[in-house]
Amino acid sequence: MESYIRFDWAAKYMLRDKANFDILEGFLTVVLGEPVTVVEILESESNADHELGKVNRVDIKARTTRNEIILVEVQQTRQVHYLERMVFGASKAVVEHVKKGEEYETVKKVYSINIVYFDLGVGDDYFYHGETVFSGVNTHDILKVNKHERDLIGMEPYNNIFPEYYILRVKAFNKRVAENPLEEWMDYFRNAHIKDGTTAPGLAAARTKLIYMMMTEKERRQYDRHFDDLFCYQDELLAAVREGRAEGIEMGLKEGHKIGLKEGRKEGRKEGREKGREEGRKEGRKEGREEGLEEGKKTAAMEIAAKMKNNGIRHTLIADLTGLSVKEIEKLN
């Protein structure tokens, strides 16, 4: 079984060669859904070699026969602000190709194609497309150019001038058997595998040109060293993430313990006050009932004593029968 060169290496060192444009054109045709012919590979700050580029990204900036600009970027390691970088790269490409003093009609269409090997965003698909569309807020219709504008500039929808973005999330592709050209390319990106008899645009050429053993010994050493560096860098990042997570958990537990104690004391005091109030209410109701009974008994005793006194019964006898004192009886009318 042949060992194939990974696409990120090929994009940086091999697909810039016109002899290998057929591989690049095939890939672009599959992604954009229409035939693409590359005229030249353009150089700019975004795809020039630099120190970080050795381990974390490769870029292709191509101009097509339709005078459109296509950016292809392979990102191996996580970047927090990768979407912002996509916007910046596409915007920079637009500005780079409008010379000072030129009319706005020279603005070129830019496609940004991003092959990412980390979990970018949250989604169920492995292939995402983003574009600018002006839709009616109330009517929900799509804003289009009128006949006069179309005749003048030869353009149909407004979004033809805005950058379009494509994201291929390699880790999200998990099909064992590729069933269409795009899936075959994703299989190659993830597993460095190209199936026998492939008819996917670009992959048939890749199958014959991107063979590891076809590189010179020097090229193979460079290739192996590049990916050794990349994997070491990824291991370091992973170790840093795990270490940071462990420290975060430890700090979180300590902080959570402090907060828990504080909230527990607060809730305990609240529960204690509520329980105390409830017990006080119960005790108060009980005491109130007892006091009410006592007062009722005494009132009844005094009414009876008054009647007995009016009937001439001795005060001492009334006191014995009612429980009242002689003084209380003497005060009765």
How far apart CA 194 and CA 220 sit, in angstroms, is 20
Contact 158, 107 (CB under 8 A): no
Segment 240-287, tens digit of pLDDT: 667 777 777 777 777 777 787 777 778 777 877 777 677 767 776 776
Segment 106-131, tens digit of pLDDT: 889 999 999 999 888 899 999 999 99
The amino acid at 179: E
- For the record, the structure tokens of 316 come out as 């001492």
- Please tell me the pTM assigned to this model: 0.66
Please report how the helices 21-32 and 181-191 are oriented relative to each other, as an axis angle in degrees rounded to 10.
120
pLDDT at 52: 40
pLDDT at 55: 37
Under 8 Å CB-to-CB from 66, ≥6 apart: which residues? 109
- 85, 86, 60: which is closest to 164 by C-alpha? 86
Contact 108, 92 (CB under 8 A): no
- For the record, the structure tokens of 142 come out as 């799509």
Percent of the chain with pLDDT over 90: 33
Please report how the helices 217-310 and 315-322 are oriented relative to each other, as an axis angle in degrees rounded to 10.
150
pLDDT at 125: 95
Confidence of residue 163 (pLDDT cuts 50, 70, 90): very high
How far apart CA 4 and CA 195 sit, in angstroms, is 11
Segment 204-254, tens digit of pLDDT: 999 999 888 887 788 888 877 776 776 676 666 667 667 777 777 777 777
314 vs 36 pLDDT, higher one: 36
